[in-house]
Structures are given as C-alpha cells and as structure tokens.
Chains A and B, each alone.
Chain A
Amino acid sequence: MLEVSALESRYGRIPALKGIDLAVRAGELVALVGANGAGKTTLLRALSGVQRVSGGRVRYEGADITNAPPERRVRLGIVQVPEGRQVFGPLSVEDNLRLGGYTRRAAESASTLERVYAMFPVLRQRRQAPAGTLSGGQQQMLAISRALMARPRLLLLDEPSMGLAPRLVEEIFACVQGLRAADTAIFLVDQNARAALAIADRGYVLETGRIVLAGSGAELLADASVQAAYLGL
C-alpha cells in the first residue's frame, strides 16, 4: 500500500531523515520506535505531506505521491493525527469533527460522525464545547476521531498516548486495535514502545534519521538491543 524508498528530509542544512526505506501493507499495523529526536515526527510529516522531502520516493497504491500536497493525500486516504493533538481550540467539538470530514461529502460525514460518537460517547456529550476546554484524554480522542472523519485507509498516529493516564492509554490502544480490525492500516509512533510493539504486526527502529532494525512486533520485543534501548530491560 505504502512504499517509502531512500526518503530524505532536512531542517535547513541539518538532515533529519537520511534515507528511509519502509513499507506498510493494506490492513497492517506497523509501529515505529526510536529515541527523542530520532526523526519519527519528521517521517510522519513527510508521509502526510506537510514536510518537504529532499530526496527519495513515496509511493501509495502504486502512484508516486512524493510531492503531492497534503490535501490530496487526505483525499487518497492517508491521514495523520499530529503529535500534541492540535485540535481547533476555539471551535466546538462537533465543528472539529465536521472539519475532519472536509474532504468527504456531507452525507458521508454525517454517517461517519454517528460512528465516531458511538465509539467515543463523551464527544457527543460535549459536542457544543470548545475543543480547547476538553481534558487531555478527550482531546486525544477528538484528534483521532477528527482523523477518522476523513475515512482514512492509512492512519498515521504520532504519540497518541503522550501525557495520558494509564487507563486512558489502554483505551487509546484498544481503539487503535479496533481500527486495525476494521481494516484500516496504521502506522504508529509511540514512546510506549512495549505497548506499541505488542499490538504491531511489524515494527521499525529509527535512530538519528536511519532505520536500524526491522522485524515483526514479537521479534523486536525479543531483540536484546531493542530491550536495552527502548524497553528499559
């Protein structure tokens, strides 16, 4: 579904991605782990099109989208949930969701909205509230729901559990697994490497802009270097 080859990106002169090769197949849950500053966010931003790339290729369903603008990728089904939620604070919860469906037809958005409310009833309860007044966990649910409104076929998740209480982290991970079960491919970045790899079909390890290790979720969980660096064993 998604094939990335030799992808490079830089901030000014400083390279952040130094030749990334990876793939995500349809319906797969792929985790990306790496230390702070490894380039995980940069990679996701490059995939969603909000980050310039300086080399390499991104192909999606056979088409080259390396330089496609973000709105086209959303229409194609690649949707990113950004790090730090980034809800439209002054707008209502429901407006945030409707904007999530900006690229979809009104009728389709209305039915997705019902599904999203069924998944997160608290969002329905607070649908008139300004998004900025929600708690951190609710904002994360809103950020994910807003992305779901675009009907993603490949969902890019950047640190969905950041700053959340353990109970909420579980809820978010259960939701991610539910989405995969419903056939949405997921590319997941999370500082909770253990939990991410545990639910992943496959994983990649990113170190200073390079993929240094790849394998199934179970293989990476059992890998001594991964255990030492990311699992605190």
Chain B
Amino acid sequence: MSPQLLQYLLSGLTVGAIYALVALGFSIIYNASNVINFAQGEFVMIGGMTTVSLIAAGLPLALAALLAIAATTLVGLALEKLAVERVRSESVVTLIIITIGASILLRGLASLVWDKNLHALPAFSGERPIALGGATIVPQSLWVVGVTLVVVAALWWFFNRTLHGKAMLATSHNRLAAQLVGISVRRVLLVSFGLSAALGALAGILIAPITFTAWDVGVMLGLKGFAAAVLGGLGSGPGAVIGGLALGLLEALSAGYVSSAYKDVIAFGIMLAVLVLMPGGLLGRRSVERV
C-alpha cells in the first residue's frame, strides 16, 4: 500500500469514527420514536464547547470531558421532556420539526453563552505524530478510533446482552407489544435521548482537538452523521458504524485523489447512488416500510 493511500485511509477512519458516533445517536432516537432528531449535531457542539469552557476554568481534561458529557445528556433529556414528550400524540413530522427548532435554538443560545469564534481543545496526549508504515497519525486519531471502538462494543453489549437493551430494541420493533409486557415507552424515549446526547457530546470532545469547535460545528457534523446513518440503514446499529466509516473513507479518498473542494460532493453523490440502488441503506432492515 502506498504511504499516501495509507495516509488517506487513516484520516478517513478518524473522521469516519466520529460520523459513526453521531449516526448511532440518530439511529437510537429513530428506533425509539421514528423521529429524526435534527438537534443531534448540537449535542456534538455542546459537548465540545462545554469542555473548552471547563478547561478554561481550570478543570483537568478528563473531568471537564465527563462533566460536559453529563451536561449534554441533561440537554438531551430536557429536549425529550420539554418538547418531544409534550406532543407525544402528534405526528412524527411535527416532532421532527420540533427538533429542527430545538437545533436552531441551541445554536442561538451557544452563540450567546459562548461566542462565534473557533475554539481549540488540547490534544489528549500530545501532538507528536506517530509514524506508521510511511504515513503519520496524530495521537488524537488513536483516541478517536480507540474510544469509538470501546463505545461501539459497550453499545453492542447493552442492546444484545441486557434485558433493558433488548427492551429498547423490542420497543422499536413493536411498540404496542412492548407496552403490553410492561416496558415504559416514555422511559425508553427518555433514555434514547439521553444516550444519543451523550454519544454526540463524546464525538464533539474527541474531534475538537483535530478540527476545532465552535457554536455552529453541529450543522455539518449533524448532516454527515445523518447521511452516515441513512447510508448504513437508519435504525441499524452496525449500519451506523459501517455508514460512518464508509462516509469518512469516501471523503478522505475524494479529498486526496480528486480535490478537497469536491470531497463533500463526491461523498454525498456516492451515498445517493447507494440509496437509489438500496433504498434501505447498506444494512437497513425496514426503513422503507417505516418512513
């Protein structure tokens, strides 16, 4: 493998892991409610920006990151409690519009609470690139990929090996039956928003040392995460991971071999082509019948 190709693959993998985390957030909420939560990107932004502020206030990185994830989780729970749950009986479209409104509101609040500048987060363990088969990788990339692996494994375990996780899956398969076995659908909804917010925040903190963060980074990251979720098959956990990695690699290869100006166009073009051929996404099971 040429060092150049390896370099593109490594950077694609890094950004793809972030897309995967955001995509998982979309899929978890979609499974619980059939809602596409357009405030998912704002969770990413709040995670990164809160960490920046807490570090500026003198907290150590690890503590700042944990508090930022907790704070973002609270925002996610509040979004569910104050907005989504209030209109439970409304149509899915109404709920989606509410999440769009929430995303605009959260961005506005962020520009007031913080500012409209770019902010950097220090890398978790230094900036010295590591040489790898002729290519180089920054230590932060290893953090991104490593933490994503751990999170994906933990989520897999939760949804496939614990009764509470299976109850959440069951709710997505058959809401009526879930209610009739005594699963609180309201609780499932709440947990989904909390979990998705935490995943978004984590993504935002992991990537901030590489790409900077700002009040509006959620727009693009949210869009890419959504694209990844759709590419993999909305509602599928493995699909979200594969979709995220595929989108990240496509982007990196297009930027490397064609032009970084066209990377988004090419990545989205290929995504659309896949969807035309496979409307359910790569691993989709039922997005067609559900939408």
Shortest Cβ gap from A50 to chain B (Å): 5
User: How many whole Å from B167's CB to the nearest CB in chain A?
Assistant: 6
Residues of B within 8 A of A149 (CB): 181
The answer to whether A86 and B182 touch across the interface, beta carbons within 8 angstroms, is: no
Contacts of A71 in B (CB 8 A): 179, 182-184
The reply to whether A82 and B176 form a contact with Cβ atoms under 8 Å apart is yes
- Give Cα A81 to B181, complex, Å: 9
Q: Interface size for chain A: under 10, 10 to 19, 20 to 34, or 35 or more residues?
A: 20 to 34
**What residue of chain A has the Cβ atom nearest to residue B166's Cβ?**
A95
- The answer for the CA separation of A202 and B167 in the assembled complex, in Å, is 36
CA gap between A66 and B179 in the complex, in Å:
16
Find out whether the CB atom of A88 lies under 8 angstroms from the CB atom of B170: yes
From A74, A75, A91, A95, contact of B180 by CB (8 A): A74
CA distance A220 to B178 in the complex (A): 35
Distance between Cα atoms of A56 and B159 in the complex (Å): 40
Residues of B contacting A: mostly: helix
B145-186, CB under 8 A of A: which get 1 and which 0?
Answer: 000000000000000000100110110011011111111101
* Segment touching B, from A13-21, A22-30, A99-107: A99-107
Q: Is A146 an interface residue (CB 8 A)?
A: yes
User: Is A98 in contact with chain B by the CB < 8 A criterion?
Assistant: yes
Query: CB distance A99 to B163 under 8 Å?
Result: yes
Residue A178, interface by CB 8 Å: no
What is the minimal beta-carbon distance from A205 to any residue of chain B, in angstroms? 26
* A91 lies within 8 A of B169 (CB): yes
CB of B128 closer than 8 Å to a CB of A: no
Measured CB to CB, the nearest residue on chain B to A85 is B177
Give the A-B contact count at a CB cut-off of 8 A.
Answer: 71
Taking the complex as formed, is B116 at the interface, i.e. its CB lies under 8 A from any CB of chain A?
no
Q: How far is the CA of A74 from the CA of B167 in the complex (A)?
A: 15
Check if A102 sits within 8 Å of B167, measured CB to CB: yes
Least distance between B160 CB and chain A CB atoms (Å)? 10
B182 touching A82 by the CB < 8 A rule?
A: no
8 Å CB contact of A100 from B173, B176, B181: B181
Asked if B180 and A70 sit within 8 Å, CB to CB, the answer is yes
Contacts of B181 in A (CB 8 A): 74, 99-100, 102-103, 146-147, 149-150
What A residues does B179 contact at CB under 8 A? 48-50, 70-71
Partner of A88, one of B163, B174, B182, B285: B174
Q: List B residues at the A interface (Cβ < 8 Å).
A: 163, 166-167, 169-170, 173-174, 176-184, 186, 285
23 contacts between A and B (CB under 8 A): A48-B179, A48-B180, A50-B176, A70-B179, A70-B180, A82-B177, A82-B180, A86-B176, A87-B174, A87-B177, A88-B169, A88-B170, A88-B173, A88-B177, A98-B163, A98-B166, A99-B166, A99-B167, A102-B167, A102-B182, A103-B181, A150-B181, A150-B182
- The interface of chain A, by Cβ under 8 A from chain B, is 48-50, 69-71, 74-75, 79-82, 86-91, 95, 98-100, 102-103, 106, 146-147, 149-150
The 4 closest A-B pairs by CB, nearest first: A74-B182, A103-B182, A86-B177, A70-B179
